[in-house]
A and B are shown apart, each in its own frame.
Chain A
Amino acid sequence: MAEPQDISAVGFGEDLGQGVALIPAPSGGLHQLVPDAGDVYATSSGWRLAWREYASNKLALIALALLILVVLFCFVGPIFYHSNQTLSNPLDQTQPPSAAHLLGTDENGFDELGRLMLGGQSALEIGAYASLVAIVIGTLYGAIAGLVGGVLDAVLMRFVDVLLSIPFLIVVLVLATKYSGTVLDISLVLGIFSWLVPSRLVRGEVLTLRTRDFVIAAQTMGANRRRVIFRHLIPNAMSVTIVNITFLIADSILALALLGFIGFGLQFPNTSWGDMLGNAQTYVTNGEWWLVYPVGGLLVIVVLCFNIIGDALRDAVDVRLRRR
């Protein structure tokens, strides 16, 4: 990039040995005085580069498209496909797929396709809420530990180590039996137990960020810790957290399915894919495939999509890092 310079302002005196020499600054308005910095060339911003890298990954694009389809299916689907999901109908028990029930009915006579949508809603909502809770706690916790450092950091991170050594599903099970029921309850329980890994990641990121000049610059200009954390550390650690969110969602959806499968999930009228799989396991040997394969397949697809997207995001964000 050729940079046009105002040569007149860059004087070279007789003594070339000095490398550069000054000409006395003329008096006058500041605007004429200052040599122009040259043109600013519009280059792609980091996020655009990241998107380009992401889009170059075909598998990731397919995963994203599939995920959007699943989200539409779960949330928009019920508007077009009406089904009764609150009153059981013994007459309709375990019907095979038909025109009235596209994917048949389950043992309570609920329409299976509508139930898939309902279960998907709770899975996606809980995935989103739980990962949000986890990422907020984890980011703040990790950023504070990393920035403050010293004894506080040691104490905070040993606490994380201790929590990580507790088998998380058992605790979640105990808590789920106490509070089970709503989507929010389960989200909170899952979120409160999955912020540990993000907190470690963010702390690691902050440890390198805090020695960067722009963080030191913020401190020298008198910015307080809150400002440093929220304006500089967290936005710069965002690349790490965004990638982690996708994995957290996938993990939460799986954990919810597991809870449902062993019977500690959401309470009626809510349902989750785990509940459906748990109920269906007794029927699978009877040849009632529609109760098992659609929900199992959907679960695998959603989790797989989130994981593929997370992987691709990691690569894409790396491009952004290289760009800096």
Chain B
Amino acid sequence: MSEPLLSVEGLVVDYQLPRGQLRRALDDVSFNVLAGQTVGLVGESGSGKSTIARAIVGLAPITAGTVTLGGGAAAAPRQSVQMVFQDPYSSLDPTKTIGYSVAEPLRVHHGRELGAQEVRARTEQMLESVGIQASAAKLYPAQFSGGQRQRIAIARALIVKPKLVICDEALSALDLSVQAQIINLLVQLRETHGISYLFISHDLSVVEMLCDEVVVLYRGRIAETGPARAVSNRPRHPYTRGLVAAVPEIDPVARAASRATRERLRKPVAPAPPLEDSCQYRHRCVFATEQCEQSRPALRLTDGPTLVACHRYEEVARDLDEKAESEIPAMTPQS
């Protein structure tokens, strides 16, 4: 396999809290993004998804570990990695026309060699390729809908032909039908421009659809990682189990199974203990034992193509699968 486009190795990020305290936002996170691949980062709020994005673009302080760009991206990192933000209402400067905003990366990176004419031509072409009329370039962000603004933000990210685009919750602020449009747009742009995405989301169903690989984060550590389909079809980590079971289902059988899984995983909420050398999920895990308290589970290969950081994933999987199967018929009397 060729050199990865982005290689994150043992990344540790600490945030400074008031009075000299440190908060570990990321703890020993490693993953790769290959050229043309889409990698999903999944996890709840505070799990460190956005911190990874910020560390990659150099906006978060890296305590240990490395972020390496390869595949020709290292020469111009600022140009090769672009970002699409969550909130399209705040990611575009309200005092600038969208034409200006879209052209800005071009001006930053090629301001000298490109004339005004060329910049304008490329901006209009880029706007059209995300479905915005070129004539709208002179309008301000306030004149667009959320979905349109997100397209504009995507155009801004793509105009310098990046190798990697980080989408930080790029769909969460949009309603479902607009989400679908933007997903289609991202997929089509991936095919025409050959870019890779690092797709940050808390929505597993979107990640499964869009991503080749997925990394599940919990409290700054990787809980599980592997091919997206394998992770969401057969999650091994109890946390991923919970995440998958939390995806809304329309099919009643599947819904009952999800509910059964959620019931099985339910545990009274306990305050999160310090991370230390123990499993970061132990206080919420119904399967936690002494071992989970005393040692930190390493990422290890499962029987499938995924890696999981859980001491007891075999038993967990067996237990949950049995439970789910035994409870489904009882809960769906019509079938």
Contact = CB atoms under 8 A, between A and B. Distances in A.
Interface in B199-235: 205-206, 208-209
A196 to B, nearest CB: 25
Contact of A222 (B85, B108, B181): B108
A18 B244 CA distance: 11
A220 B86 CA distance: 14
B249 interface: yes
Given A41-B143, A213-B85, A227-B108, A219 B59 contact: yes
Interface stretch (B17-25, B130-138, B318-326): B130-138
A159 interface: no
B131 A42 contact: no
A223 B205 CA distance: 35
A10 B153 CA distance: 20
A221 B142 contact: no
A221 B91 contact: no
B147 interface: yes
A58 interface: no
A30 B129 contact: yes
* Chain A interface size range: 35 or more
A322 to B, nearest CB: 11
A223 B82 CA distance: 12
B94 interface: yes
B139 A40 contact: yes
Interface string B80-94: 011101110111111
B179 A20 contact: yes
B91 to A, nearest CB: 4
Given A34-B131, A324-B142, A220 B83 contact: yes
B53 to A, nearest CB: 9
Interface in A195-224: 212-214, 216-223
B250 A221 contact: no
Interface in B165-202: 176-177, 179-181, 183-185, 187-188, 191-192
Contacts of B143: 40-43, 45
B89 A324 contact: yes
B147 A37 contact: yes
A35 B83 contact: no
Given A19-B176, A22-B183, A232-B93, A45 B205 contact: no
B30 interface: no
Contact of B92 (A18, A25, A214, A220): A214
Contact of B94 (A16, A218, A324): A324
A49 B129 CA distance: 32
A266 to B, nearest CB: 38
Given A17-B254, A37-B148, A235-B95, A10 B248 contact: no
* Chain B interface size range: 35 or more
A217 B156 contact: yes
A93 interface: no
A45 B142 contact: yes
Interface stretch (A1-9, A177-185, A186-194, A250-258): A1-9
A10 B93 contact: no
Contacts of B180: 10, 20
B133 to A, nearest CB: 7
A9 B151 CA distance: 15
Contacts of A37: 130-132, 147-148, 151, 181
A33 interface: yes
B177 A5 contact: yes
Interface in B140-163: 140, 142-145, 147-148, 151, 153, 156, 160
B293 interface: no
A232 B90 CA distance: 12
A220 B176 contact: no
A221 B156 CA distance: 9
Given A37-B147, A238-B95, A17 B249 contact: yes
A36 interface: yes
A38 interface: yes
A236 B140 CA distance: 13
24 contacts: A17-B248, A17-B249, A17-B250, A18-B208, A31-B128, A33-B192, A34-B131, A34-B185, A40-B143, A41-B143, A45-B143, A213-B86, A213-B87, A214-B94, A217-B91, A219-B59, A220-B59, A220-B82, A221-B104, A221-B105, A221-B108, A235-B93, A235-B96, A236-B93
Interface of A: 1, 3, 5, 9-10, 16-22, 25, 30-31, 33-38, 40-43, 45-46, 212-214, 216-223, 227, 231-232, 235-236, 238, 323-324
Top 9 nearest A-B pairs by Cβ distance? A222-B78, A213-B91, A37-B131, A20-B180, A235-B95, A213-B90, A221-B105, A220-B57, A213-B85
